[in-house]
Chains A and B, each alone.
Chain A
């Protein structure tokens, strides 16, 4: 299968982030992410020039509990599948959306770990029983990971059929975009590896350090779950308690660590972005990556058409924010570090 070409492939690391434009040049710089041949080949359908509606995005202001995010994604996909059935042509790409957020402290794992014995705890869950985080088994690919404040989580909800993108290429594009972002903002160039030299998917700051992970679920070719990137060091103590991603000798690193590392060696004062800053940086990158206008969920877009589907999604997002606020209120907030006093 051929994949629709990207209008912007990956830029050279010598260009400062602030000067990045949505140019169509693809770079042959050795620091840029390489795509496998199947994903770099332009699609014949590109010449059809079918324009997709704007990509939407929403950035959550406060960390949300994991189940709230999960329910939101599934409800959005249910609405999208219903809209697709009702109007397969008109709904094409309308509900494509990127959610950017943080979670409250949570460990999750993928469907490989779905234990047949519901009375038995997952071995990684046993390690973090009382530390102040929840543990969920999800339907995404990938293994154990941690989500929490200080880490940017992104949930692109995209119809890969409409975007004419295969699953494997989608993962590669996401990985390459995240890898390039880390390279640029940390100024660490070639030391940033995406994927790992042994082939593990994600963004690594050395063969034994991982800064960003990917785990996707697809329902009828619509994506959910997505990626996570450690921005501040806050997630790291939590990561240290588990064997994340099934990689025994890999530790988590954070963007702040990496920026400080290169700033020290360059003799400059590091400028450390907040999670919100990184979310803001990611928004235009998604638009560039998929060659689409990107507009806030509440916005009109150039075309000014807001369909019932978008209204329904707006309602779901508002409800999720309200639920998150209520749950966080009821639980009295969340821990900033794991409570090790009760572990055995």
Chain B
């Protein structure tokens, strides 16, 4: 039986990210602990320093270059990955591009929706088309990735 998403065991339910309780009421929305950085392989990581979880995906630049995505191969939940490891692939129009771990850690969750809707990667690569969530083993790796300006410069220079 072929399934569009190859995986072994999964948690099933989505994890809720814990937000710290505030002793004083704030009229604004809670302070965001999430920041986003990029790699030269056109991936992004949105790191939540509170939970130590980084959400990983490919950028809009990458999805444009690929064309219509027909299949996404992701690592198994619970796999240990090292920065730079090949962790799966995105297939479009007969070309399968390897995707690489932007940071080291353990796969906490994968985006099950991509199994039935690989096109989400084209429609919302930096939103609903996220690939997987990683529990970082070394947050310093995240800090060393490109910030938005550096990534933009990389795209333009490419």
A contact set with B: CB distance below 8 Å:
1, 38, 110-114, 116, 139-142, 161, 164, 166-168, 170-171, 201-202, 214-221, 223
- Is B17 part of the contact surface with A, judged by Cβ < 8 Å? no
User: How many angstroms from the CA of A164 to the CA of B65 in the assembled complex?
Assistant: 11
Residues from chain A with Cβ under 8 Å of B152 in the complex: none
Over the window 114-158 of chain B, the binary record of Cβ atoms lying under 8 Å from chain A Cβ atoms (1 yes, 0 no) is 000000000000000000000000000000000000000001001
Residues from chain A with Cβ under 8 Å of B6 in the complex: 114, 116
Contact B67 A168 (CB under 8 A): yes
Excluding A114-B73, A219-B98, 20 further A-B contacts by CB distance (< 8 Å) are A1-B64, A1-B155, A38-B64, A111-B96, A112-B2, A112-B73, A112-B91, A113-B2, A140-B94, A141-B71, A141-B93, A161-B158, A164-B158, A166-B64, A166-B65, A167-B95, A168-B92, A214-B94, A217-B98, A220-B41
Looking at B66, B67, B95, the one whose CB has the most chain A CB atoms below 10 A away is B95
Contact B98 A142 (CB under 8 A): no
Residues from chain A with Cβ under 8 Å of B97 in the complex: 167, 217-218, 221
- Is B29 part of the contact surface with A, judged by Cβ < 8 Å? no
- Is B83 part of the contact surface with A, judged by Cβ < 8 Å? no
Residues from chain B with Cβ under 8 Å of A1 in the complex: 61, 64-65, 155, 158
Over the window 72-99 of chain B, the binary record of Cβ atoms lying under 8 Å from chain A Cβ atoms (1 yes, 0 no) is 0100000000000010010111111110
Contact A110 B96 (CB under 8 A): yes
Decide: A141 near B91, CB < 8 A? Known: A113-B2, A161-B158: yes
Contact among A168, A218, A221 with B96 in the assembled complex (CB-CB below 8 Å): A218
29 contacts between A and B (CB under 8 A): A1-B155, A38-B64, A111-B91, A112-B2, A112-B4, A112-B73, A112-B91, A114-B6, A116-B7, A141-B71, A142-B94, A166-B64, A166-B65, A166-B66, A166-B67, A167-B67, A167-B92, A167-B97, A168-B67, A168-B93, A168-B95, A201-B94, A216-B94, A217-B97, A218-B95, A218-B98, A220-B41, A220-B98, A220-B100
Contact A216 B8 (CB under 8 A): no
User: How many angstroms from the CA of A112 to the CA of B95 in the assembled complex?
Assistant: 11
User: How many angstroms from the CA of A111 to the CA of B64 in the assembled complex?
Assistant: 21
Q: How far is the CB of B84 from chain A (nearest CB, A)?
A: 10
Q: How far is the CB of A110 from chain B (nearest CB, A)?
A: 6
* Cβ-closest chain A residue relative to B42: A221
Residues from chain A with Cβ under 8 Å of B92 in the complex: 141, 167-168
Contact A110 B95 (CB under 8 A): no
Residues from chain B with Cβ under 8 Å of A201 in the complex: 93-94
Q: How far is the CB of B32 from chain A (nearest CB, A)?
A: 30
Residues from chain B with Cβ under 8 Å of A116 in the complex: 6-8
Q: How far is the CB of A73 from chain B (nearest CB, A)?
A: 13
Contact B61 A216 (CB under 8 A): no
User: How many angstroms from the CA of A116 to the CA of B94 in the assembled complex?
Assistant: 21
User: How many angstroms from the CA of A113 to the CA of B4 in the assembled complex?
Assistant: 9
User: How many angstroms from the CA of A1 to the CA of B61 in the assembled complex?
Assistant: 7
* Cβ-closest chain A residue relative to B76: A116
Looking at B2, B91, B94, B98, the one whose CB has the most chain A CB atoms below 10 A away is B94
User: How many angstroms from the CA of A113 to the CA of B91 in the assembled complex?
Assistant: 12
User: How many angstroms from the CA of A170 to the CA of B6 in the assembled complex?
Assistant: 27
Contact B41 A168 (CB under 8 A): no
User: How many angstroms from the CA of A38 to the CA of B8 in the assembled complex?
Assistant: 38
Residues from chain A with Cβ under 8 Å of B93 in the complex: 141, 167-168, 171, 201
Contact B96 A170 (CB under 8 A): no
User: How many angstroms from the CA of A167 to the CA of B96 in the assembled complex?
Assistant: 9
Q: How far is the CB of B71 from chain A (nearest CB, A)?
A: 5
Contact B89 A111 (CB under 8 A): yes
Residues from chain A with Cβ under 8 Å of B8 in the complex: 116
Pick the 5 closest A-B CB pairs, nearest first. Answer: A168-B67, A166-B65, A216-B95, A141-B96, A218-B97
Residues from chain A with Cβ under 8 Å of B4 in the complex: 112
User: How many angstroms from the CA of A168 to the CA of B67 in the assembled complex?
Assistant: 5
* Cβ-closest chain B residue relative to A223: B95
Residues from chain B with Cβ under 8 Å of A223 in the complex: 95
